[in-house]
Amino acid sequence: MFSEIRAVFSRRYLLQNTAMEVFMANRTSVMFNFPDQATVKKVVYSLPRVGVGTSYGLPQARRISLATPRQLFKSSNMTQRWQRREISNFEYLMFLNTIAGRTYNDLNQYPVFPWVLTNYDSEELNLTLPGNFRDLSKEPFTTFLLSANNNKFDHPDRTFSAVARSWRNCQRDTYDVKELIPEFYYLPEMFVNSNGYHLGMREGSTMVCDVDLPAWAKKPEDLVRINRMATEAQIQSFGQTPSQLLIEPHPPRSSAMHLSPLMFKDQMQQDVIMVLKFPSNSPVTHISANTLPHLTVPAVVTVTCSRVFAVNRWHNTVGLRGAPGYSIEQAHQLPIEMDSLIANSSGSNKRQITDLVDQSIQITTHCFVVTADNRYILVCGFWDKSFRVYSSETGTLTQIVFGHWDVVTCLARSESYIGGDCYIVSGSRDATLLLWYWSGRHHIIGDNPNNRGPCLVHTITGDLLRALEGPDYYQCPRLISVSSEGHCIIYYERGHFCNFSINGKLLAQMEGNDSTRAILLSSDGHNLATGGDNGVVEVWQACDFKQLYVYPGCDAGIRAMDLSHDQRTLITGMASGSIVAFNIDFNRWHYEHQNRY
């Protein structure tokens, strides 16, 4: 159990510093209350030395777990990352809530978000008009609170039942003051009475059921999406700031023009950065771009259909073009350097996976997984119903993993945790999934057939959460891409695409190219890149599958694709045995910048 702990925060409970919140590897958290602060300190020093995790740029030390909110704020790198636009406004606000002591485990200290918009009546909403935004420099009535009835639904006239009405009441009634909660910006289901509870009648005999939406939101997903866009708008800046974190004005955020100057120039940089041709001529069927600068060897790992892999070194200069301090020497340095063992044909035997695979298995991008440190490659499709782990340095077999009753046909991994730990999911031909734990320290795995039907979403303990069911004629899923926001893009046979929420609601569908071989969502889930046999990369708006851009066609079909860590380079694996690197800047399709291209 202790090995599953990822972060420890000291917390307040009933205005006393007597609580502690523990975050686990499976993304759950538990809050404990103790008799006094001394007991909290003893417990923290008995737990693993994980600090508050690795996300905030703070050392993993027990003193960090006991630090005050102001100390955490001043010591972390999150403000600088926010200024450089490496994280979104939403992520930064969640960071401020978390270190200030707000938690989902205590309703008295639930995370709060501001109202950002003021217009909830218009049929259409223009996010470029300042009048549609709230003046965040004016302080809300932060000292007024409402008391909810214990174990009862609130009075119908006080129940949150209309967005526009709640906003009007906040402006004119000091006894009905509400700020928002984070779910307002990511959970459309909160506006729907899906369980059909009887919430009573308002005065005027109006039944309280689903929340009445603004006129410009046709469905709850529109409200959440537009609110999130408004939160990220450059027209907004910090007004009031939490006193437990700041005693001076908050620093401003850098503009997108300063960070991406080429985005605003008349002459855009070319779409294609480079083409890298491998000697084998075998189609590149898998690409894994683990390019974070803190890695020992940032690299783009490629695997071909003939199971020849290459560890191509990544140079972290491509995302800096046009930035201050960018040198001429860096401009001439290509982002990807071919694996020297492949380029010189010396020691190429160290790059060949020679073990025999089942001949009935089609080699696709899902047959391979590369660990986050680029040191190991997991491969499936073997006749003995195993999947195997190979060293990317020597090409030697390090582990054979058994557990399936049929040939393993696909692999996937989660994000990596502290020390490189992650979860591995293996799927076999008999429609069985197994979950494994990869130890980053020890580099090992610890402990009715049908190819038609819906995609199923499970917890990591195996419980079925949702079935993602498309229209009746969308039967055979082929590709899937999931964003950090929980949206799932599924590509079916015959060129059908579907966009699902994590709760199984079908948000959009499209009939596209039947020859699609690779799909990829941007990190925020707003944009989708696709590629296929026609050799063309297309960029789509994920929420409604609106086509945003078409890259120039390549001379071969596309088999795989991945993005660099900074989301500035799209790398595709080609059927001709080469890889192509494209310039990509998702900001160029943001509504605020479209008129600058």
Residue 547 lies in a domain: yes
258 contacts: CB under 8 Å, gap ≥ 6:
none
399 and 283 share a domain? yes
Instruction: Give the separation between CA 156 and CA 208, rounded to whole angstroms.
Output: 7
Instruction: Give the separation between CA 5 and CA 9, rounded to whole angstroms.
Output: 11
Residue 288 lies in a domain: yes
The CATH number linked to 157 is 1.10.1540.10
174 and 149 share a domain? yes
Residue 325 lies in a domain: yes
330 and 210 share a domain? no
pLDDT, average across residues 485-497:
87
Looking at this protein, which amino acid is placed at residue 228? R
442 and 589 share a domain? yes
Instruction: Give the separation between CA 279 and CA 351, rounded to whole angstroms.
Output: 13
> pTM value?
0.69
Of the three residues 254, 275, 299, the one that is the final residue of a domain is 254
CB-based contact 29:113 (threshold 8 Å): no
pLDDT digits (tens, 9 = 90+) for 463-476: 777 888 888 777 78
> Residue for token digits 């469905």?
219
| pLDDT score recorded for residue 406 | 92
Residue 423 lies in a domain: yes
- At 68, list the tokens: 């005050």
pLDDT digits (tens, 9 = 90+) for 201-216: 887 778 888 999 999 9
pLDDT, average across residues 107-131:
89
| pLDDT score recorded for residue 572 | 95
403 and 375 share a domain? yes
Tell me how far the alpha carbon of residue 242 is from its chain's centroid: 27
User: Phi/psi at 514 (nearest 5 deg)?
Assistant: -70, -15
282 contacts: CB under 8 Å, gap ≥ 6:
304, 305, 306, 308, 577
Tell me how far the alpha carbon of residue 398 is from its chain's centroid: 31
Residue 97 lies in a domain: no
pLDDT digits (tens, 9 = 90+) for 512-569: 777 899 999 998 888 999 999 999 999 999 999 999 999 999 989 999 999 998 889 9
* CA-closest candidate to residue 132, choices 462, 464, 591, 595: 591
Residue 67 lies in a domain: no
250 and 263 share a domain? no
Looking at this protein, which amino acid is placed at residue 411? L
pLDDT digits (tens, 9 = 90+) for 217-226: 999 999 999 9
H helix intervals, 186-326: 220-231, 256-259
Tell me how far the alpha carbon of residue 521 is from its chain's centroid: 9
Instruction: Give the separation between CA 475 and CA 479, rounded to whole angstroms.
Output: 12
Instruction: Give the separation between CA 276 and CA 312, rounded to whole angstroms.
Output: 10
> Residue for token digits 């996937």?
412
Give Dmax over CA atoms of the chain in angstroms: 83
β-partners of residue 550 are: 538
Residue 467 lies in a domain: no
572 contacts: CB under 8 Å, gap ≥ 6:
287, 518, 531, 537, 554, 558, 560, 561, 579, 580, 582
479 contacts: CB under 8 Å, gap ≥ 6:
490, 491, 516, 517, 518, 519
- Pick from 18-27, 283-292, 310-319: least confident: 310-319
- At 229, list the tokens: 């866009």
Phi-psi region of 25 (alpha: psi -120 to 50; beta: other; left: phi over 0): alpha
* CA-closest candidate to residue 524, choices 186, 113, 137: 186
Q: Is the pLDDT of residue 173 over 80?
A: no
Residue 496 lies in a domain: no
268 and 228 share a domain? no
The CATH number linked to 341 is 2.130.10
Q: Which runs of E-coded beta strand occur in 334-442?
A: 336-337, 368-370, 376-379, 387-391, 397-401, 408-413, 422-428, 433-439
268 and 404 share a domain? yes
244 and 310 share a domain? no
274 and 418 share a domain? yes
Segment (H or E) for 497: strand 496-500
| Residue, of 308 and 158, whose pLDDT is higher | 308
228 and 292 share a domain? no
Instruction: Give the separation between CA 559 and CA 285, rounded to whole angstroms.
Output: 5
- Pick from 195-199, 364-368, 380-384, 421-425: least confident: 195-199
Give every strand in the sheet of 408-413, ordered side by side: 408-413, 422-428, 433-439, 444-446
> Residue for token digits 């938690």?
103
| Domain count along the chain | 2
| pLDDT score recorded for residue 45 | 94
> Residue for token digits 């994980």?
50
Pairing verdict, β 516-521 and 16-24: unpaired
| pLDDT score recorded for residue 265 | 46
Of the three residues 254, 282, 298, the one that is the final residue of a domain is 254
Instruction: Give the separation between CA 473 and CA 511, rounded to whole angstroms.
Output: 12
333 and 235 share a domain? no
> Residues in the chain, how many?
597
CB-based contact 426:389 (threshold 8 Å): no
- At 109, list the tokens: 């200290």
Residue 369 belongs to what domain range?
259-448+513-596
pLDDT digits (tens, 9 = 90+) for 27-61: 889 999 999 999 999 999 999 999 999 889 999 99
